[in-house]
Amino acid sequence: MNNLNSLDPTPPDVSADADHDLALLRLGQHLNAEQYRFVTVTPLTHQRVNQREENRKARSLRDIFGWSRPFESELLPESELQALLDSGVLRAHAGLWVSDVRWSTLDDLLFVHSSFPTVANDSVFFGPDTYRFAQAIEEHLRTSSHPVRTAVDIGCGSGVGAILIARARRDAQVLAVDINPTALRFTTINATLAGVENVSAYHSDILAGTSGEFDLIVANPPYMQDTQQRAYRHGGEQLGSELSVRILKQAVERLTVGGSLVLYTGAPSVEGVDLFLDQARAVVDTPELAWTYREMDPDVFGEELEAAPYESADRIAAVVLTVTRSR
């Protein structure tokens, strides 16, 4: 069940976050009514497109809330502009205005997440990895016959995993957990826009704040070794694979018999050795677990290979590890 108290349109004592989130919810409803659509690209592509001279300034809702371009007051009705400014969704930028959030679409769903560029430590990321993660979840839900009564999306971010499961399995109780309060707030807004009432957003470091077993666990964790150690991007040591291995270890201990983990992550290779798979085998090669592993994209974030700590890496692949508890 969504925690919608903060989105009550007439609460007696509205906090800054509640006012901000209510404004986001209303903006999302407006964008849906306008049939807004935007596919979020990689940061490098986003930068290249925005650097074109004709794209220096926004000319449409997609430019404002998708491409994160500065805009003039005339692009929004005065009352709407003022409400978004008052709530902190918009801010001044070089004599113009700019949005602090982006809105992306996945099929018919709309998701709020952090604006470009994602530089703050509590940024909530959405991009090509999110679309591949969604494909992995949808494929599992199509092909698995195991009933899903309880599920959890670890490091939920904008809530894509939790919301997809909740829509496909309306009777399931779905947890969306993250250490980032902004992610939990955005997930609640996105679940409301999606019309799902069986998603609950909670603070948890992986599964430490949860109890019981799960029929389905999904995760799309940060998987880069970020020199600035930004939470939305940093996957730890072993060229960013450390966090994914931690999630794997905790998740397999919390699966019901017949339950599955769908882990979408990055796998760095050094001299032909897949560092993530090399560590994962030690966890999943047991009689109690059945598993599959596949590359969804053999080469992502290739620009990272130009700098530390990736000078020795051959490539970074986008992979899906699916683990099912057989007994």
pLDDT tens by residue, 181-224:
999 999 999 999 999 999 999 999 999 999 999 999 999 999 99
Cα-based distances in Å from 133 to 126, 128, 230: 11, 9, 21
Rounded Cα distance, 250 and 64, in Å: 40
Q: Is the pLDDT of residue 241 over 70?
A: yes
pLDDT at 15: 61
Q: Is the pLDDT of residue 293 over 50?
A: yes
pLDDT at 119: 85
Band of pLDDT at residue 3, cut at 50, 70 and 90: very low
β-pairing, 150-154 vs 214-219, is: parallel
**Domain spans of the chain?**
5-114, 128-325
Cα-based distances in Å from 168 to 23, 29, 135, 174, 260: 28, 22, 13, 11, 16
pLDDT at 121: 86
pLDDT at 231: 85
In one-letter notation, the amino acid at residue 149 is: R
Rounded Cα distance, 177 and 265, in Å: 17
Q: Residue 218 has which token pair?
A: 């999904």
Q: Is the pLDDT of residue 7 over 80?
A: no
- Say if CB 313 and CB 302 are below 8 A apart: no
Quote the pTM value.
Answer: 0.93
Digit-coded pLDDT (tens) for 204-215:
999 999 999 999
- For domain 128-325, give the CATH number: 3.40.50.150
As a three-state string, the secondary structure of 47-105 is HHHHCCHHHCCCCCHHHHHCCCCCECHHHCCHHHHHHHHHHCCEEEECCEEEECEEEEE
Rounded Cα distance, 205 and 179, in Å: 6
CA angle at residue 236 from 41 to 245, to 5 degrees?
Answer: 95
Q: Give the chain's mean pLDDT.
A: 94
Digit-coded pLDDT (tens) for 113-162:
999 999 888 999 999 999 999 999 999 999 999 999 999 999 999 999 99
Q: Is the pLDDT of residue 14 over 90?
A: no
Q: Is the pLDDT of residue 4 over 60?
A: no
